[in-house]
Amino acid sequence: MTQALPKVIIHGGAGSSHGHRERLVALREDLYSIVKQVYGKAEAGASARDCVVLGCQLMEDSPHFNAGYGSVLQSDGQVRMSAGLMDGEAQRFSGIINVSRVRHPIDLAAYLQPFPDRVLSDLGAVELAREMAIAPFDPITDLRLKEWMQERANNFQSPMAGVVAEAVEVPATSESRRGTIGVVVLDMEGRLAVGTSTGGKGLERLGRVSDSATPAGNYATGAAAVSCTGIGEDILDECLAARIVVRVTDGMDIAAAFKKSFAEATANGRDFGAIALSHQGDIAWGKTSEVLIAAYHTGEAIGDTLELNSGTLTGVV
């Protein structure tokens, strides 16, 4: 079935809005710009997978988000990033875990798509970057380094860093935003794809693996595609992306799948958000956190999920 209009939804993290309301509103400009560029590529006839890669690259280039340039630092002061990509039509997942010194982790995940070995960790990532002749890139920004140094001065009391880089000198707190960036696209041919990229939660134990390069945080079939953001361990515990997609693939409509999955997550005390598209073109999102930083393009208009005073858990357009 040919889809007359492509659809796009992206996210840049989830968490609390406490003390950050003006900053979250300002992020609309970044989100809208990226959504427009991704939609323009899809409207020109590009595949969902290629559009997803572009969207992730654009968000990895922004210092405002916790992915690529602007990623948070781990406990040892280094940046290690992860990314996942799934082509819903081909039913192929690829991912890269704890890669360092690259600009676009999503490029490594995309490169792995045609190969039999499609998920690589740190040592394999180093060799892959060499194989791809990727120039070394330092993703650490001054703000992220300052954030880490403040945490060091406080003897690393915070369990994680903030996902959105702030222009003010405040230490991260456990109530900060957390998560990843993600892009979901339905192209003009009705194909679905999803990509997710992250710098991790920040300040974590060396070797910790996030959900982004697993089907729990990033999954698609021909029926639906989902990208997650938030506390990676909570997303893994719920196997959230795969759970929602399987429910839609089995015949549940996407609104019902989100409502059921987020009711379960709320009962379990989880902290995360998710965005999705169905093969029918329904745009969906959900959150147990206070804020989900996301924007979408319906083919006719752009919107976002920054309802700072809303208690809504899920939404569909």
Instruction: Determine the Cα–Cα distance for residues 291 and 97; give it in Å rounded to an integer.
Output: 26
Rounded to whole angstroms, the Cα distance separating 41 from 117 reads: 29
Q: Which of 47, 44, 39 is nearest to 299 (CA)?
A: 39
Q: What is the full DSSP assignment across 207-245?
A: T---STTSTTTEEE-SSEEEEEEE-HHHHHHHTHHHHHH
Q: Using CA atoms, how far apart are residues 216 and 195, in angstroms rounded to an integer?
A: 12
Residue positions annotated with a catalytic role: 180
Contact 6, 300 (CB under 8 A): no
Joined together, the tokens standing for residue 17 give 């809005």
CA gap 217, 211 in Å, rounded: 5
Phi first, then psi: what are they for 184, rounded to 5°?
Answer: -125, 135
Radius of gyration of the chain (CA): 18
Pairing of the two strands 81-87 and 192-198:
antiparallel
Token reading at 142: 């001054």
- The answer to whether residues 165 and 143 touch, using CB atoms and an 8 Å cutoff, is yes
